[in-house]
Structure 1
């Protein structure tokens, strides 16, 4: 069931007004830069330029004023609303004109009225600024604005564990010891007590890792589906199973596969956030009891969700002292709290009522503020006022308090998290791309790319403990994140209150309010409305008519639509920026504002000349092969702004020439085969002309060839598979000056022996070797990989040992050995770990499975 949301009349809000106007400015910039010779706009180019100029002036004033203490002024709120409305009006008018719905004479009459409105708003903002400086000069800034420019990142919530030590030791003893019969343990407690964090600490404990043959972590949540839960359990068991085959399995096949996988093995299954006993009984027969010490661990907010005989551990509230310890660690890390702040900081900790989530969220606010007693005392007073209200709303009021004190630029980014399913991991890349598509990220920033700014925004939300990192990349950085149930509920409630986010149910189809982002929960009939900005959730029953949805920017349903069969009117979606489909629509060229295109398909797609001319398109991800259409080869005069391209086929020199039309590519995934170069030597596509390229994945299915490879010096991440290069040619890769991540997959190099050389891989931090036919790996010195942090050997079934010199690399933190391998390989890695520990190096860890 979806969360219950109060049925309130949406208030007039401006949470995303700046971003709507900013996005319009970006569109006007692009229109004037790339379509200045377009016959359609030649007659109105001057008016569009004036619109751009006046909107720039008004928006800069609005940004200057929309901070405390001006933020609460009613005049500013009214002006803010008018900026949003006039931006909508201009956006709709320009879109209608370019689509041909509005004739030139009508556009020429209407656009001066819009410009006049913007000028009036600018005049009013100037008066507000003048009056504000005169009347508010003595007002102390709200603590929410007192951000420290040198604030350091607070530790991740998952990294700060306080309290529960005795409880953890007791449960750990039950997991790795005790009865040999299958045992089910439940960690029970109210929301915000840290059940998931507590269970993660147990799951990652070295004793647990060594004890069990198979481990799986899955999230159940209130709205779970049996098939999805079974699939998650199977994926968690790290079974090598084709994804398409897994997705096509029926429920009984999934149950059987899980049972057979676990049969005879000692296993640990964690089921996080289970709401009722039905979820357990839906999957319970998957788990054999072979009397070998297997365990199942549940986390729940309800006591009786497990079968009879379940051992129940109730998490207690933190003591006042533990709350203070958690707050100090979260805000200051390993440093002590300054003496002048200890008194008020301890008061704040006591007022958090023993709930770790509340402590961490308040710590997130404190960690971004100046370390001044008056500012912290204001936080303490707000927390105390919520406590005095009593009742069950205390935690939600504290969370709302943290939302209200977010910088304006982060509020829509946070609220947008509500469109993702409960308890599901959120892909970092997907989230940041959606923020960009919605216009929440300033694309006018000259110092940082939109992607870098989006990452910075996400890290700010993480630092404020409003978002939790669920998985990090092996080489650093966030791969996925998750939002606590209560915080997601806050997103939904505030989104509804502020007319930003709308939940659509069976009998709720039409949407009239401006600027709404729509999350569909089970509606078979598609919601509609001229002002809808995005769609997420369940795919409506086709056909889906979008002719009137001229403001739609994101179509991100959880399953792709077929544009030829299921989607009608896509050619009218002038504002669309983000689209998930399973085939290219014939009218793809009319989506002139499209930036992100995901084609989820098992068929080869053809990239036409229309796509190559789309000047705003930045990201093209196709799950199967993509090849250039013949029409592209005759049109080489236009370049585009594609920055990420997946699964493009480069089979002949003309394909490489077509790639030159995308000079801004930063990430490339390609399938290729070698061809004869001008000197008659076999070579794979030479990519050195891509001067901005940072990430490359290159594969071939045409067998090994002794062919040359050439990559630009800018590449930081490289994955190669099937190229069949001899190890002597490794210098072509080892000499890449900025290479940090290298994945050598099956057939990338052939031969039995690899001897590394000095002066290569000078910046490499992550090295993975997967299914290589390598017997011997010789490393003469730790200087051969001076910056290596993580080494992964996955099913290198002939490799005998890890070179001893690898252990001497000062930066090395992990050696992972996965899958089938020789016993001597594992033993050599363990020996390296022991030797390093004897030498005082406690940082190196060896993991094998």
Structure 2
């Protein structure tokens, strides 16, 4: 019933909105309890909002919608795996739509139809799951109606009006505050102070569209004693600038995720090392870790400083301190994803840091590595063999580097973005037997590559190939089209006339799709 409705949304809308809701209710009632919560929760996002899947799944986990078996020592990939299965089920049922895909074919962003969003909001108000406050009048009516006491609030209206009218709401029962409205700079701190005062027991605080040039983490953040998830982001593509993150944030004993879309001028406070529960740490730019050893802590061992549950560390700026930290044996025992940025003058080459990755026991669980650096020398052979995904941003790689990468036995995803190839040959060459497990290969703005040669039995498991902005590339290797597992080739951006002609004349085998945009 619901799948047939999805294909004829416009017709049903013109007929009867109540009929649409009745049909949606049939599909909703068939969902298991845990899927019902995850589905309804998508309604907290604004209309036509493109939802990052990682953001959504992290929220599901923080909200307690994902079953937990091992307490604080549980593995993040297990939780994320369950969350992704839930998402896939909701997509299969046509309740959630795919907006964009990742390079490996996974879902990067998603959205829901406006009608489904309205359904989620209505049911959630009845279930007391969450309320959406799109304007001051709605919030005021909720305050005056004591029968509606939702556990979660999504603010999408005039924040200055909301803060004045919501003070009588049953704030002690609120567990999550999500804000999506643009906040003027002069109202920013007032809004945060209002949250600290009235919502002290929240577990989730997600703030979008904050002003870019204000210090937005108040020193009283430790008052949110049960906080598990903290996300702060600015409007559009502008990054927030933060002078420093207060050490008081480290007093939050349950905080698992810190995600700040902005630049932090000073390194994180030393007390960050005492946050044993922290699992996900992401600051878009300027993320620096302090040296935990000093005369005040010299009597403590390595284990006392280890971020023992940290599994995702994103956008870490490499510095002399980074080299020291990476050389220690057990500071990051469970780190699974690492993103390094090389913009320190001493670290224009990645050799020392890569040697640290390979030489310590820190990174036995590391699966995903992302690097932003201009040059490498010839240190790529220092990559841990356990890596399954590597991303290079703005890197100058030559044919020797490609050969070394091709020997990694477990590499499944390779993404390369750089401006030119140093080799005079201007050729990408992949030999037989190289990249034995590679499933997804993405090249972005590889301006210097003109030719790509590929021997038989190279990249035998390749399934997805994505090429963007490689206008110098004149052709693709003929061996590519004989790969048994190849399912998608996507070419976009400016391409040469030769490659454009070749692709238009190409006859794809059954089961393989070619997209040119």
> TM-score per shorter chain, which class?
0.7 to 0.9
Does residue 624 in structure 1 map to residue 290 in structure 2? Answer: no
Residues 563 and 585 in structure 1, CA contact (< 8 A), matched pair in contact too: no
Does residue 597 in structure 1 map to residue 411 in structure 2? Answer: no
Aligned-partner SS, 1:399: helix
Residues 660/795 of structure 1: CA separation in 2 closer, same or farther (3 Å cut): farther
**How high is the TM-score relative to the length of structure 2?**
0.79
Quote the residue 1:363 is aligned against: none
1:521-569 deviation per Cα after TM superposition (whole angstroms, max 9, x unaligned): 3241434511111112326634132134232111112224799567463
Tell me which structure has the larger Cα radius of gyration. Answer: 1
Quote the residue 2:341 is aligned against: 671
Residues 557/578 of structure 1: CA separation in 2 closer, same or farther (3 Å cut): same
Q: 1:774 & 1:696 partners in 2: Cα distance? A: 24
Q: 1:595 & 1:566 partners in 2: Cα distance? A: 17
State how 1:225-240 maps to structure 2 within 5 Å: none
1:96-119 deviation per Cα after TM superposition (whole angstroms, max 9, x unaligned): xxxxxxxxxxxxxxxxxxxxxxxx
Quote the residue 1:718 is aligned against: 390
State how 1:168-247 maps to structure 2 within 5 Å: 194=8
Quote the residue 1:436 is aligned against: 61
Does residue 739 in structure 1 map to residue 446 in structure 2? Answer: no
State how 1:42-81 maps to structure 2 within 5 Å: none
Does residue 649 in structure 1 map to residue 324 in structure 2? Answer: no
Deviation at 1:742, TM superposition (A): 0.7
Structure 2 residue aligned with 1:409, among 17, 31, 34? 34
Residues 469/498 of structure 1: CA separation in 2 closer, same or farther (3 Å cut): same
Quote the residue 2:516 is aligned against: 848
Quote the residue 1:699 is aligned against: 372
Aligned-partner SS, 1:476: coil
Deviation at 1:827, TM superposition (A): 3.0
Q: 2:420 & 2:275 partners in 1: Cα distance? A: 35
Residues 750/392 of structure 1: CA separation in 2 closer, same or farther (3 Å cut): closer
Q: 2:290 & 2:276 partners in 1: Cα distance? A: 18
Quote the residue 2:126 is aligned against: 497
Q: 730-739 vs 512-521, which deviates more? A: 512-521
Quote the residue 2:116 is aligned against: 487
Residues 795 and 818 in structure 1, CA contact (< 8 A), matched pair in contact too: yes
Residues 633 and 658 in structure 1, CA contact (< 8 A), matched pair in contact too: no
State how 1:539-554 maps to structure 2 within 5 Å: 541-542=187-188, 543=190, 544-545=192-193, 546-554=196-204
Higher share in helix: 1
1:200-230 deviation per Cα after TM superposition (whole angstroms, max 9, x unaligned): xxxxxxxxxxxxxxxxxxxxxxxxxxxxxxx
Unaligned runs of 5+ in 2: 233-239
Residues 767 and 791 in structure 1, CA contact (< 8 A), matched pair in contact too: yes
Does residue 506 in structure 1 map to residue 129 in structure 2? Answer: no
| RMSD across aligned positions (CA) | 3.4
State how 1:516-555 maps to structure 2 within 5 Å: 516-522=151-157, 523-524=159-160, 525-526=162-163, 527-528=166-167, 529-536=171-178, 537-538=180-181, 541-542=187-188, 543=190, 544-545=192-193, 546-555=196-205
Aligned-partner SS, 2:259: strand
Residues 626 and 647 in structure 1, CA contact (< 8 A), matched pair in contact too: yes
Residues 770 and 795 in structure 1, CA contact (< 8 A), matched pair in contact too: yes
Quote the residue 2:427 is aligned against: 753
Q: 2:478 & 2:28 partners in 1: Cα distance? A: 52
Q: 2:471 & 2:247 partners in 1: Cα distance? A: 48
Does residue 556 in structure 1 map to residue 226 in structure 2? Answer: no
Q: 2:420 & 2:203 partners in 1: Cα distance? A: 41
Deviation at 1:740, TM superposition (A): 1.5
Quote the residue 2:473 is aligned against: 799
Quote the residue 1:376 is aligned against: none
Deviation at 1:515, TM superposition (A): 5.6
Quote the residue 2:237 is aligned against: none
Quote the residue 1:474 is aligned against: 103
Residues 265 and 286 in structure 2, CA contact (< 8 A), matched pair in contact too: yes
Aligned-partner SS, 2:250: helix
1:308-348 deviation per Cα after TM superposition (whole angstroms, max 9, x unaligned): xxxxxxxxx6xxxxxxxxxxxxxxxxxxxxxxxxxxxxxxx
Residues 432/708 of structure 1: CA separation in 2 closer, same or farther (3 Å cut): closer
Residues 263 and 287 in structure 2, CA contact (< 8 A), matched pair in contact too: no
Structure 1 residue aligned with 2:452, among 777, 785, 791? 777
Residues 498/685 of structure 1: CA separation in 2 closer, same or farther (3 Å cut): same
State how 1:339-488 maps to structure 2 within 5 Å: 393-444=18-69, 449-488=78-117
Deviation at 1:575, TM superposition (A): 0.8
Aligned-partner SS, 2:172: coil
Residues 727/415 of structure 1: CA separation in 2 closer, same or farther (3 Å cut): same
Deviation at 1:436, TM superposition (A): 0.7
Q: 765-774 vs 792-801, which deviates more? A: 792-801
In the alignment of these two chains, the number of paired residues is: 463
Q: 1:410 & 1:759 partners in 2: Cα distance? A: 43
Higher share in strand: 2
Residues 219 and 248 in structure 2, CA contact (< 8 A), matched pair in contact too: no
